[in-house]
Amino acid sequence: MVMPTMMKVKADIVKYRLPLKHPIAVNQHSISEREGLILCLQAGDRFGYGDIAPLPGFSRETLKEAEKQLLSFCSAMNAKESLQDIENLSFLQNFSLMPSVSFGIESALWWLKQDHWLPEQPSAPLLQGDIQKIVDRLKHWQGEWPAEFKVKTGRHLRDDDVFRIHQILQILPDSVSIKLDANRQWSFDQACDFAEALKGAIDLQRIAFVEEPTACVDDFTTLYDKTGLRFALDETVQEQGFTVQPMSGLAAIIIKPTLVGGLKRCQALIESARHHGIRAMISSSYESVIGLHILYQLSARWIPEELPGLDTASVFRQKLIIGDISASDAIDFDPTCCERG
Protein backbone atom coordinates (compact mmCIF):
# COMPACT_ATOMS: atom_id res chain seq x y z
CA MET A 1 0.00 0.00 0.00
CA VAL A 2 1.10 3.57 -0.74
CA MET A 3 0.19 5.75 2.23
CA PRO A 4 -0.39 9.49 1.85
CA THR A 5 2.98 10.93 2.79
CA MET A 6 1.46 14.17 4.04
CA MET A 7 -0.53 12.35 6.74
CA LYS A 8 0.21 13.32 10.35
CA VAL A 9 1.63 10.52 12.54
CA LYS A 10 1.17 10.31 16.31
CA ALA A 11 3.70 8.40 18.44
CA ASP A 12 3.19 6.86 21.89
CA ILE A 13 5.16 4.48 24.11
CA VAL A 14 3.77 1.65 26.24
CA LYS A 15 5.92 -0.20 28.78
CA TYR A 16 5.61 -3.92 29.44
CA ARG A 17 6.95 -6.50 31.84
CA LEU A 18 6.60 -10.23 31.14
CA PRO A 19 7.44 -12.77 33.86
CA LEU A 20 9.20 -15.94 32.72
CA LYS A 21 8.16 -19.46 33.68
CA HIS A 22 11.71 -20.13 34.84
CA PRO A 23 14.81 -17.91 35.12
CA ILE A 24 16.96 -17.92 31.99
CA ALA A 25 20.74 -17.69 31.94
CA VAL A 26 21.74 -15.01 29.42
CA ASN A 27 25.47 -14.50 29.00
CA GLN A 28 26.25 -14.94 32.71
CA HIS A 29 23.11 -12.99 33.65
CA SER A 30 19.98 -14.61 35.05
CA ILE A 31 16.68 -12.97 34.14
CA SER A 32 13.26 -13.83 35.58
CA GLU A 33 11.26 -11.34 33.54
CA ARG A 34 11.49 -9.51 30.23
CA GLU A 35 10.99 -5.77 30.14
CA GLY A 36 10.51 -3.64 27.08
CA LEU A 37 8.76 -0.78 25.33
CA ILE A 38 6.16 -0.82 22.58
CA LEU A 39 6.31 2.06 20.13
CA CYS A 40 2.79 2.78 18.85
CA LEU A 41 2.38 4.88 15.70
CA GLN A 42 -0.98 6.06 14.41
CA ALA A 43 -1.66 7.64 11.04
CA GLY A 44 -5.37 8.17 10.48
CA ASP A 45 -7.03 4.79 11.10
CA ARG A 46 -3.80 2.84 10.63
CA PHE A 47 -1.40 1.67 13.32
CA GLY A 48 2.20 0.49 13.43
CA TYR A 49 4.04 -1.19 16.29
CA GLY A 50 7.65 -1.77 17.24
CA ASP A 51 9.21 -3.72 20.13
CA ILE A 52 12.19 -2.18 21.93
CA ALA A 53 13.65 -4.65 24.45
CA PRO A 54 17.42 -4.54 25.07
CA LEU A 55 18.60 -7.96 26.24
CA PRO A 56 20.64 -7.84 29.48
CA GLY A 57 24.08 -9.32 28.98
CA PHE A 58 24.04 -8.81 25.22
CA SER A 59 22.67 -5.37 24.32
CA ARG A 60 25.07 -2.45 24.47
CA GLU A 61 22.26 -0.20 25.75
CA THR A 62 20.11 -0.53 28.85
CA LEU A 63 16.32 -0.28 28.83
CA LYS A 64 16.59 3.10 30.57
CA GLU A 65 18.94 4.41 27.88
CA ALA A 66 16.69 3.05 25.14
CA GLU A 67 13.63 4.66 26.71
CA LYS A 68 15.38 8.05 26.91
CA GLN A 69 16.28 7.93 23.24
CA LEU A 70 12.83 6.70 22.25
CA LEU A 71 11.17 9.53 24.20
CA SER A 72 13.31 12.07 22.33
CA PHE A 73 12.42 10.42 19.05
CA CYS A 74 8.68 10.45 19.82
CA SER A 75 8.82 14.10 20.87
CA ALA A 76 10.51 15.02 17.60
CA MET A 77 8.14 12.81 15.62
CA ASN A 78 5.02 14.36 17.14
CA ALA A 79 6.33 17.77 16.18
CA LYS A 80 6.59 16.75 12.53
CA GLU A 81 3.82 17.67 10.15
CA SER A 82 3.76 14.54 7.98
CA LEU A 83 4.97 11.01 7.38
CA GLN A 84 7.19 12.40 4.63
CA ASP A 85 9.12 14.39 7.24
CA ILE A 86 9.51 11.31 9.45
CA GLU A 87 10.81 9.06 6.67
CA ASN A 88 13.51 11.52 5.73
CA LEU A 89 16.72 9.59 6.31
CA SER A 90 18.50 12.57 7.81
CA PHE A 91 15.77 12.74 10.47
CA LEU A 92 16.52 9.18 11.64
CA GLN A 93 20.28 9.61 11.33
CA ASN A 94 20.24 12.60 13.64
CA PHE A 95 19.49 10.30 16.57
CA SER A 96 22.44 7.83 16.19
CA LEU A 97 19.95 5.16 17.16
CA MET A 98 20.83 2.32 19.51
CA PRO A 99 20.25 -1.15 17.96
CA SER A 100 17.07 -2.00 19.87
CA VAL A 101 15.62 1.47 19.29
CA SER A 102 16.49 1.36 15.60
CA PHE A 103 14.77 -2.02 15.28
CA GLY A 104 11.66 -0.76 17.07
CA ILE A 105 11.33 2.47 15.10
CA GLU A 106 11.94 0.95 11.68
CA SER A 107 9.58 -1.93 12.53
CA ALA A 108 6.77 0.45 13.51
CA LEU A 109 7.17 2.51 10.33
CA TRP A 110 7.21 -0.71 8.28
CA TRP A 111 4.15 -2.12 10.09
CA LEU A 112 2.25 1.11 9.43
CA LYS A 113 2.33 0.37 5.69
CA GLN A 114 1.32 -3.29 5.75
CA ASP A 115 -2.01 -4.33 4.21
CA HIS A 116 -1.69 -8.05 4.91
CA TRP A 117 0.45 -10.60 6.74
CA LEU A 118 2.12 -13.61 5.19
CA PRO A 119 1.50 -17.04 6.73
CA GLU A 120 4.11 -17.50 9.43
CA GLN A 121 6.85 -20.02 8.72
CA PRO A 122 7.47 -22.84 11.14
CA SER A 123 10.27 -22.00 13.56
CA ALA A 124 13.33 -24.18 14.11
CA PRO A 125 12.36 -25.82 17.44
CA LEU A 126 14.64 -25.21 20.41
CA LEU A 127 15.38 -28.28 22.51
CA GLN A 128 16.38 -27.29 26.01
CA GLY A 129 16.03 -28.50 29.57
CA ASP A 130 16.13 -32.01 30.96
CA ILE A 131 17.12 -34.65 28.39
CA GLN A 132 14.24 -36.92 29.38
CA LYS A 133 11.75 -34.13 28.67
CA ILE A 134 13.42 -33.55 25.31
CA VAL A 135 13.24 -37.26 24.48
CA ASP A 136 9.56 -37.41 25.48
CA ARG A 137 8.80 -34.36 23.36
CA LEU A 138 10.47 -35.89 20.30
CA LYS A 139 8.89 -39.32 20.79
CA HIS A 140 5.46 -37.69 20.78
CA TRP A 141 6.21 -35.34 17.90
CA GLN A 142 3.21 -34.76 15.66
CA GLY A 143 3.18 -33.58 12.08
CA GLU A 144 6.12 -33.22 9.74
CA TRP A 145 9.65 -33.09 11.06
CA PRO A 146 11.42 -29.73 10.59
CA ALA A 147 14.68 -29.75 8.68
CA GLU A 148 16.63 -28.71 11.79
CA PHE A 149 16.38 -28.49 15.56
CA LYS A 150 18.46 -26.25 17.81
CA VAL A 151 20.26 -27.44 20.95
CA LYS A 152 22.08 -25.32 23.51
CA THR A 153 25.50 -26.72 24.41
CA GLY A 154 28.55 -25.72 26.43
CA ARG A 155 26.57 -25.53 29.67
CA HIS A 156 27.22 -29.14 30.71
CA LEU A 157 30.20 -31.43 30.96
CA ARG A 158 31.53 -32.55 27.60
CA ASP A 159 30.33 -36.14 27.97
CA ASP A 160 26.88 -34.95 29.05
CA ASP A 161 26.60 -32.72 25.98
CA VAL A 162 27.69 -35.54 23.67
CA PHE A 163 25.24 -37.93 25.32
CA ARG A 164 22.35 -35.46 24.91
CA ILE A 165 23.13 -34.91 21.23
CA HIS A 166 23.50 -38.66 20.62
CA GLN A 167 20.14 -39.34 22.30
CA ILE A 168 18.42 -36.68 20.23
CA LEU A 169 19.85 -37.83 16.91
CA GLN A 170 18.85 -41.43 17.62
CA ILE A 171 15.21 -40.34 17.65
CA LEU A 172 15.29 -37.87 14.77
CA PRO A 173 15.02 -39.11 11.16
CA ASP A 174 18.31 -39.21 9.24
CA SER A 175 17.12 -36.27 7.14
CA VAL A 176 16.95 -33.98 10.19
CA SER A 177 20.00 -32.05 11.43
CA ILE A 178 20.66 -30.13 14.60
CA LYS A 179 22.21 -26.73 15.15
CA LEU A 180 24.32 -26.27 18.26
CA ASP A 181 24.68 -22.99 20.14
CA ALA A 182 27.72 -22.71 22.41
CA ASN A 183 27.48 -18.95 23.11
CA ARG A 184 31.29 -18.71 23.36
CA GLN A 185 31.34 -21.02 26.39
CA TRP A 186 34.40 -23.09 25.38
CA SER A 187 38.10 -22.44 25.18
CA PHE A 188 39.69 -23.52 21.89
CA ASP A 189 41.00 -26.75 23.45
CA GLN A 190 37.58 -27.52 24.93
CA ALA A 191 35.94 -26.92 21.55
CA CYS A 192 38.39 -29.28 19.86
CA ASP A 193 37.89 -31.87 22.59
CA PHE A 194 34.11 -31.62 22.20
CA ALA A 195 34.27 -31.94 18.40
CA GLU A 196 36.51 -35.02 18.59
CA ALA A 197 34.24 -36.65 21.19
CA LEU A 198 31.24 -35.85 19.01
CA LYS A 199 32.88 -37.40 15.96
CA GLY A 200 33.37 -40.59 17.93
CA ALA A 201 29.65 -40.82 18.75
CA ILE A 202 27.75 -39.51 15.71
CA ASP A 203 28.03 -38.62 12.04
CA LEU A 204 29.28 -35.03 12.12
CA GLN A 205 27.29 -34.29 8.96
CA ARG A 206 24.17 -34.36 11.15
CA ILE A 207 25.46 -31.17 12.82
CA ALA A 208 24.51 -28.20 10.65
CA PHE A 209 26.87 -25.93 12.61
CA VAL A 210 27.80 -24.72 16.07
CA GLU A 211 27.19 -21.05 16.87
CA GLU A 212 30.15 -19.14 18.31
CA PRO A 213 32.11 -22.07 19.80
CA THR A 214 34.72 -19.85 21.52
CA ALA A 215 35.14 -16.20 22.48
CA CYS A 216 37.68 -15.63 19.68
CA VAL A 217 36.41 -15.60 16.11
CA ASP A 218 39.92 -16.33 14.86
CA ASP A 219 39.58 -19.81 16.41
CA PHE A 220 36.59 -20.81 14.33
CA THR A 221 38.28 -21.59 11.03
CA THR A 222 41.14 -23.37 12.81
CA LEU A 223 38.57 -25.48 14.66
CA TYR A 224 36.87 -26.35 11.37
CA ASP A 225 40.17 -27.22 9.65
CA LYS A 226 41.16 -29.44 12.55
CA THR A 227 37.84 -31.19 13.25
CA GLY A 228 35.43 -30.54 10.36
CA LEU A 229 32.91 -28.87 12.69
CA ARG A 230 31.20 -26.07 10.78
CA PHE A 231 30.30 -22.86 12.59
CA ALA A 232 27.91 -19.91 12.52
CA LEU A 233 28.40 -16.32 13.61
CA ASP A 234 25.98 -14.86 16.13
CA GLU A 235 27.53 -12.53 18.73
CA THR A 236 30.12 -11.56 16.11
CA VAL A 237 27.33 -10.25 13.85
CA GLN A 238 26.25 -7.91 16.67
CA GLU A 239 29.61 -6.13 16.76
CA GLN A 240 29.72 -2.62 15.34
CA GLY A 241 31.16 -2.51 11.86
CA PHE A 242 30.66 -6.22 11.15
CA THR A 243 30.63 -7.16 7.47
CA VAL A 244 30.01 -10.56 5.93
CA GLN A 245 33.23 -12.14 4.67
CA PRO A 246 33.76 -15.73 3.44
CA MET A 247 35.56 -17.92 6.00
CA SER A 248 36.55 -21.56 5.74
CA GLY A 249 33.89 -23.53 7.61
CA LEU A 250 31.42 -20.62 7.93
CA ALA A 251 27.96 -22.09 7.38
CA ALA A 252 25.65 -19.27 8.45
CA ILE A 253 25.16 -15.92 10.13
CA ILE A 254 22.50 -15.49 12.81
CA ILE A 255 20.76 -12.12 12.76
CA LYS A 256 19.02 -10.89 15.92
CA PRO A 257 17.52 -7.52 14.95
CA THR A 258 17.09 -6.34 18.55
CA LEU A 259 20.86 -6.67 18.97
CA VAL A 260 22.02 -5.91 15.41
CA GLY A 261 19.91 -2.85 14.60
CA GLY A 262 17.26 -1.67 12.18
CA LEU A 263 15.55 -3.40 9.30
CA LYS A 264 17.78 -1.80 6.67
CA ARG A 265 20.90 -3.05 8.43
CA CYS A 266 19.53 -6.58 8.78
CA GLN A 267 18.36 -6.80 5.18
CA ALA A 268 21.77 -5.64 3.96
CA LEU A 269 23.46 -8.40 5.97
CA ILE A 270 21.13 -11.00 4.48
CA GLU A 271 21.82 -9.82 0.95
CA SER A 272 25.56 -9.86 1.58
CA ALA A 273 25.45 -13.38 3.02
CA ARG A 274 23.41 -14.60 0.06
CA HIS A 275 25.97 -13.05 -2.30
CA HIS A 276 28.73 -15.08 -0.64
CA GLY A 277 26.72 -18.32 -0.55
CA ILE A 278 26.37 -18.20 3.25
CA ARG A 279 23.13 -19.05 4.99
CA ALA A 280 21.41 -16.29 6.97
CA MET A 281 18.60 -16.72 9.46
CA ILE A 282 16.66 -14.44 11.75
CA SER A 283 16.60 -15.26 15.46
CA SER A 284 14.86 -13.81 18.49
CA SER A 285 16.16 -12.21 21.67
CA TYR A 286 13.17 -13.15 23.85
CA GLU A 287 10.98 -10.38 22.45
CA SER A 288 7.27 -10.01 23.16
CA VAL A 289 4.58 -11.32 20.82
CA ILE A 290 4.82 -8.05 18.89
CA GLY A 291 8.55 -8.45 18.29
CA LEU A 292 8.12 -12.11 17.36
CA HIS A 293 5.33 -11.26 14.92
CA ILE A 294 7.61 -8.75 13.20
CA LEU A 295 10.50 -11.24 13.06
CA TYR A 296 8.29 -13.98 11.60
CA GLN A 297 7.05 -11.61 8.91
CA LEU A 298 10.52 -10.36 8.00
CA SER A 299 11.88 -13.89 7.79
CA ALA A 300 8.97 -15.01 5.59
CA ARG A 301 9.60 -12.10 3.23
CA TRP A 302 13.39 -11.99 3.19
CA ILE A 303 14.51 -15.61 3.77
CA PRO A 304 11.56 -17.92 3.03
CA GLU A 305 13.92 -20.85 2.48
CA GLU A 306 15.16 -20.76 6.09
CA LEU A 307 13.47 -21.67 9.36
CA PRO A 308 13.84 -18.73 11.75
CA GLY A 309 15.04 -19.24 15.31
CA LEU A 310 11.94 -17.91 17.04
CA ASP A 311 10.88 -20.73 19.37
CA THR A 312 10.92 -18.54 22.49
CA ALA A 313 7.29 -17.58 23.18
CA SER A 314 6.84 -20.61 25.45
CA VAL A 315 9.23 -19.18 28.09
CA PHE A 316 6.66 -16.57 29.18
CA ARG A 317 4.01 -17.15 31.82
CA GLN A 318 1.52 -14.99 29.94
CA LYS A 319 0.96 -13.08 26.75
CA LEU A 320 1.91 -9.46 26.36
CA ILE A 321 -0.46 -7.17 28.20
CA ILE A 322 -0.87 -3.56 27.23
CA GLY A 323 -0.55 -1.29 30.24
CA ASP A 324 0.34 -2.10 33.83
CA ILE A 325 0.42 -5.90 34.15
CA SER A 326 -1.29 -5.65 37.52
CA ALA A 327 -4.24 -3.65 36.20
CA SER A 328 -7.56 -5.47 36.22
CA ASP A 329 -8.59 -3.96 32.90
CA ALA A 330 -5.40 -4.99 31.05
CA ILE A 331 -5.98 -6.65 27.68
CA ASP A 332 -4.08 -9.24 25.67
CA PHE A 333 -2.40 -8.01 22.50
CA ASP A 334 -3.22 -9.81 19.27
CA PRO A 335 -1.00 -8.55 16.41
CA THR A 336 -3.46 -9.62 13.71
CA CYS A 337 -6.09 -7.19 15.02
CA CYS A 338 -3.81 -4.19 14.51
CA GLU A 339 -3.53 -4.26 10.75
CA ARG A 340 -6.16 -1.55 10.50
CA GLY A 341 -6.09 -0.55 14.13
Domain residue spans of the chain: 10-118+319-338, 126-315
280 with 94: CB under 8 angstroms?
no
What pLDDT score does 23 carry? 87
Could you give phi then psi for residue 292, rounded to 5 degrees?
-65, -40
The residue from 150, 226, 264, 319 that is catalytic is 150
The residue from 133, 179, 256, 264 that is catalytic is 256
Written as tens digits, the pLDDT of the chain (341 aa) is 555 556 788 999 999 999 999 888 887 778 889 999 999 999 888 899 999 999 998 999 999 999 999 999 898 888 876 666 555 545 566 668 999 999 999 999 999 889 889 988 788 899 988 899 999 999 999 989 999 999 988 777 889 999 999 999 999 999 999 999 998 989 999 999 999 999 988 999 999 999 999 999 999 999 999 999 999 999 999 999 999 999 999 999 999 999 999 999 999 999 999 999 999 999 999 999 999 999 999 999 999 999 999 988 888 888 775 543 332 233 345 444 433 33
41 with 109: CB under 8 angstroms?
yes
- 264 part of the active site: no
Would you state the CATH architecture of domain 126-315?
Alpha-Beta Barrel (3.20)
Q: How far apart are CA 197 and CA 236, in angstroms?
A: 26
- 179 part of the active site: no
What pLDDT score does 192 carry? 95
DSSP annotation of 44: T
- CA geometry: angle 258, 59, 19, nearest 5 deg: 75
Q: How far apart are CA 236 and CA 219, in angstroms?
A: 13
Give the Cβ contact number of residue 327 at 10 Å. Answer: 10
Complete DSSP assignment for 185-203: -B-HHHHHHHHHHHHTTS-
Task: Specify the fold of 10-118+319-338.
Answer: Enolase-like; domain 1 (3.30.390)
Q: How far apart are CA 177 and CA 197, in angstroms?
A: 18
DSSP annotation of 118: P
What pLDDT score does 37 carry? 96
